[in-house]
A and B are shown apart, each in its own frame.
Chain A
Amino acid sequence: MRDHPLVQLTLARMREFYREPEAIFWVFGFPLVLAFALGIAFRNRGPGELKIAVLRAPGDSVIAAALDRSPALAAAVLDSGEARTQLRTGRIALLVVPGDPLVYRYDSTRTESRLARLEADDALQRARGRPDGASVRDERVTEPGSRYIDFLIPGLLGMNLMGSGLWGVGFSVVQARTKKLLKRFMATPMRRSHYLLSFILSRLLFLFLEIAALVGFGWLMFGVGVRGSFGALALITVLGALSFAGLGMLVASRARTIEAVSGLMNLVMLPMWILSGTFFSYARFPDAMQPFVKALPLTALNDALRAVMIDGTGLVRLGAPLAIVAGWGAVSLGIALKIFRWR
């Protein structure tokens, strides 16, 4: 059994991988570093105090004191030159110019500035004696699942499946080709299907480690849970890994040099890094682009992963994205087998 060619080929794949410290880092370490850094940078701490300023003029101190009373605002009194610079560079969100009428100077395209305008106006109107019409009470919630890190972890999972699928398969195949190892294998009775299957098998074995590392990290560090079933998550990741292994096979099917295959990989991956909603929602792209964006395998995979991890959606309702993922894999592998350069 251990001497079955498929076992030996798969073992060779795995040994070559885990004896390469750089590969370990890029597959396991890098996504964790990324998740950690982004999780810290975008942790939910609320908007905090908005920095605003009052222009130095008669009556400025009264206005500044009124503004400071609002917990959402931090007001300073500035000379006009300094105020203009700080407003332009975004260090203050709003400038209040004393006078009658009061002037609010701000950039209305900035969310922060519009928020500052509302808060400042509210504080000043109250200070001048405007009564509140209704009594209100704030109830704050921080729902796990709605934070940025909850959005990010499934995206990183998808991106990692893409990266290790393409690099893991594509790089090894082309390396074997440039070193004439592929040709040497062709000089033995080895079955070609065993060679290709060994890539898929070793991918699947490492896959579980990759997922466990990232999902476990998200859970321990940030409390990112999996709302759906682990079975569904496993199935989707396996499908994603197979699909990207197929794409990797296609990318590597003809290339004769590492440089050529690296270029092709980046050509394939770069659009998906940007478009497929790994770091931010692809809904931000114009409507005209949406059909194209949604047809990308990483978009579909990310959608399916988020549906299971965040919304707890069952597999049955994920037919469409999973079909896209599977379709990409099957078509890529089909073409790859037709045009594969075996020497």
Chain B
Amino acid sequence: MPAIRCSGLVKRYADVVAVAGLDLTVATGECFGLLGPNGAGKTTTIEILEGLTEPDAGDVELLGMRWGGGGAADRALRERLGIQLQETQLADKLTVAETVRLFRSFYTSSHTVDEVLGLVELEEKRAAWVGKLSGGQKQRLAVACALVSRPELLFLDEPTTGLDPQSRRQLWEVIGRFRAAGGTVLLTTHYMEEAERLCDRVAIMDHGKGIALGTPRELIASLGAEHVVEFALADGAGRAPTPEELAALPGVQAVRPGPDRTALTVAAVHRAVPALLGLLERRGAELSMLATHHATLEDVFVSLTGRQLRDA
């Protein structure tokens, strides 16, 4: 039995379709990522799954149960879930321990306050007011409130958005420990690095639809090449090569012209780059920028939508 199964999810708001027919299956023990730019429908999707938003159409099944209108059955399902919401601000004037204890009181079976503070490494802050915590500590506290119920299924909505790299890595470790203990995770993010690092599988969302699904490796492999070469030309010098000319270069799989730079997906950097430089020299064009990197999920998103993820 999958941990999450949903099909045909649709959610419309007054003037926008937030989710336009989404199917997902998340296996027990899996870490599944919903990826996409802001406004892609990730939060609406996760809140429908969490039973906080009523879908206009579609079917949701969590841990073999369905949401049923707020009664005892729903509470029984909520006992088994851990939820962190994107925008929640916990009460500033309660301490860390008081906050965890409050959330703990809602569940019949749960970790002790000390256990869960240990899980998120906030023991030293147990007597501090929530308002005095750093952004990363607040986020770990939010995850602590989600973990306190010993959930089987953990929902995290952009858990690391706005955090510094160190805080982000600390949260990744928390998630890693939860998974190591057999938990299932569904998270949303717009950090590709995070998805590649944490997720067994990802679904890339855009305009309320899933546009790609697979392991990060599969998705990157679908580009047909593992490297990306980006370059930009200095103004006014020579004639820029056309996309057709670039595509004809050895080792180049795809060409994505952009407003300020052109990206080439290439199988072999050592063959494509000298060829590119030779072409530019023949044209008399001058480079203002040249960079190469391993292909990422970001490149997958760009190749699917033609837009950058961050500013899409």
State the A residues within 8 Å of B (CB).
3-5, 7-9, 11-12, 15-16, 19-20, 179-181, 183-191, 343
A selection of 27 A-B contacts at a CB cut-off of 8 Å is A7-B105, A8-B101, A8-B102, A8-B104, A12-B91, A12-B94, A16-B91, A179-B88, A179-B90, A180-B85, A180-B89, A181-B89, A181-B91, A183-B52, A183-B85, A183-B88, A184-B83, A184-B145, A187-B52, A187-B83, A187-B85, A188-B83, A188-B149, A189-B76, A189-B78, A189-B107, A189-B108
Q: List residues of chain B with CB within 8 A of the CB of A3.
A: 101, 104-105
B177 within 8 A of partner (CB):
no
- Enumerate chain B residues within 8 angstroms of A4, measured Cβ to Cβ: 105
Q: Find out whether the CB atom of B106 lies under 8 angstroms from the CB atom of A5.
A: yes
Chain A CB within 10 A, most for which of B79, B81, B98, B102: B102
Q: Is the CB of B52 within 8 A of A16?
A: no
Across the interface, do B106 and A190 meet the contact criterion of CB distance under 8 Å?
A: yes
CA distance A190 to B105 in the complex (A): 8
Neighbouring B residues of A8 by C-beta, 8 Å: 101-102, 104-105
Q: A20-B93, A181-B91 are in contact. Are A187 and B78 (CB under 8 A)?
A: yes
Best-buried of B94, B103, B105, B107 by chain A (most CB within 10 Å): B105
What are the 4 closest A-B residue pairs judged by CB atoms, nearest first? A8-B105, A189-B75, A179-B89, A187-B83
Distance in angstroms from A175 CB to nearest chain B CB is 9
User: B87 on the interface (CB 8 Å rule)?
Assistant: yes
Q: Is the CB of A5 within 8 A of B52?
A: no
Q: Give the number of residue pairs across the A-B interface with Cβ within 8 Å.
A: 72
Evaluate contact between B89 and A343: CB separation under 8 angstroms: no
Q: Which residues of A contact B145 (CB under 8 A)?
A: 184
Nearest CB of A to B31, in Å: 20
What's the nearest-Cβ distance from chain A to residue B145, in Å?
A: 8
Interface pair B107/A188, CB less than 8 Å apart: yes
B115 CB to nearest A CB, Å: 14
- B107 to chain A minimum Cβ distance, whole angstroms, is 6
Complex Cα distance, B102 from A343, in Å, reads 19
Residues of B contacting A: mostly: loop
A20 contact set on B, CB distance < 8 A:
93
Q: Which residues of B contact A5 (CB under 8 A)?
A: 105-106
Within 8 Å CB of B107, what residues of A? 188-189
B contact residues around A191 at 8 Å (CB): 75
| B105 CB → nearest A CB, Å | 4
User: Once bound together, how far apart are the Cα atoms of A19 and B90, in whole Å?
Assistant: 15
Interface residues of B (CB under 8 A from A): 50-52, 75-76, 78-79, 81, 83, 85, 87-91, 93-94, 98, 101-108, 145, 149
Q: Which residue of B lies closest to A172 (CB)?
A: B91
Bound CA–CA A20/B78 (angstroms): 33
Alpha-carbon distance A186/B51, docked complex (angstroms): 9
- Asked if B88 and A180 sit within 8 Å, CB to CB, the answer is yes
Residue pair A189, B50 in contact (C-beta under 8 Å): no
Q: Which residues of A contact B83 (CB under 8 A)?
A: 184, 187-188
B93 and A19 contact, CB distance less than 8 A: yes
A180 — which chain B residues lie within 8 A by C-beta? 85, 87-89
| Distance, CA A5 to CA B78, complexed state (A) | 15
Cα distance A190–B70 in the bound complex, in angstroms: 11
CA distance in complex: A16, B87 (Å): 20
Chain A residues near B89 (CB, 8 Å)?
179-181
CB distance from B167 to the nearest CB of A (A): 20
CB B14 to nearest CB in A, in angstroms, measures 16
Residues on B with beta carbons closer than 8 Å to the beta carbon of A11: 98, 102
Query: Looking at B87, B89, B91, B104, which has the most chain A CB atoms within 10 Å of its CB?
Result: B91
| Interfacial chain A residues near B105, Cβ < 8 Å | 3-5, 7-9
Q: Which residues of B contact A179 (CB under 8 A)?
A: 88-91
Q: Which residues of A contact B106 (CB under 8 A)?
A: 5, 185, 188-190
Q: Specify the chain A residue showing the minimal Cβ separation from B51.
A: A187
Known pairs A16-B93, A183-B52, A189-B108; list 7 more (Cβ under 8 Å).
A3-B105, A12-B94, A16-B91, A184-B85, A187-B51, A189-B79, A191-B75
Q: Which residues of B contact A7 (CB under 8 A)?
A: 105
- A15 in contact with B94 (CB, 8 Å): yes
Contact A12 B103 (CB under 8 A): no
Chain B: CB-nearest residue to A182: B88
List the A side residues contacting B85 at CB < 8 Å.
180, 183-184, 187
> What is the CB-to-nearest-CB distance from B287 to chain A, in angstroms, rounded to a whole number?
48
Q: Which residue of chain B has the shortest Cβ distance to A19 in the bound complex?
A: B93
A45 CB → nearest B CB, Å = 46
Name the CB-closest residue of B to A181. Answer: B88
Task: Decide: A184 and B88 in contact? CB cutoff 8 A.
Answer: yes
- When chains A and B are docked, how far (Å) is the Cα of A313 from the Cα of B89? 49
In the complex the two chains form, is A188's CB within 8 Å of B91's CB?
no
Contact for B52 among A9, A15, A343, CB less than 8 A: A343
Smallest beta-carbon distance B94→chain A, Å: 6
Q: How far is the CA of A183 from the CA of B90 in the complex (A)?
A: 11
Q: How far is the CA of A189 from the CA of B51 in the complex (A)?
A: 12
* B79 contact set on A, CB distance < 8 A: 189
